[in-house]
Structure 1
Amino acid sequence: MPLPPVRRSGLQQEVVNLYRECFRAARLKPQANHVHFHAFIRMQFRKHSEVTRKDFATIEHLLRVGKRQLQVYSAPSIEDVTI
């Protein structure tokens, strides 16, 4: 029996979309460095996992910061990250 679709608020969906965009951007990097990018992405999101759903200002701030970081790390000149 299939599970019903998950209902998310607009802000929650933005976080999920940013997470997915980060992994899509990592696919464009050299194959050998995918592991480093995946670990970095997970670390960044888990670092702020204690933020509550109701803390809208913090979530919006972190989304802005995350989108800026995504732009920087998506640049073709960035080929690897270190943790």
Structure 2
Amino acid sequence: MPPAAPRLSGLQREVLSLYRQCLRASRTKPEDARARFEEYARTEFVKHRGLEKRDFGAIEFLLRKGRRQLEVFSSAGITDIR
């Protein structure tokens, strides 16, 4: 039997959900730009990986910021990111 997945807090689930949404949004972009959108998302999440789990204010701020950026980058008018 495989080991059970670790239980995640609500904020951890929200962060993972936002990351998945970013990756899904990258699939709607032109093929030559997808890798740049994915790399940008990965870089932003890795940049804050060391954030303390109990720093709820900072995590919630970053989630709001990430959702706003996702909304902007998801619009059809944005075809590339540099």
- For the aligned pair, the TM-score class normalised by the smaller chain equals over 0.9
1:47, CA displacement in angstroms? 1.4
Give the TM-score taking structure 1 as reference length.
Answer: 0.94
Alignment length (residue pairs): 82
Question: Which blocks of at least 5 consecutive residues in structure 1 are unaligned?
Answer: none
List gaps (5 residues or longer) in structure 2: none
Q: Report runs of 4+ in structure 1 exceeding 6 Å deviation.
A: none
Report the secondary structure of 1:60's partner residue.
Answer: helix
TM-superposed deviation, 1:6:
2.4
The percentage of aligned residue pairs carrying the same residue is: 46
C-alpha separation between the residues in 2 aligned to 1:11 and 1:20? 14
Instruction: State the partner residue of 1:59.
Output: 59
Report the aligned-residue RMSD.
0.9
CA distance in 1 between counterparts of 2:39 and 2:28 reads: 16
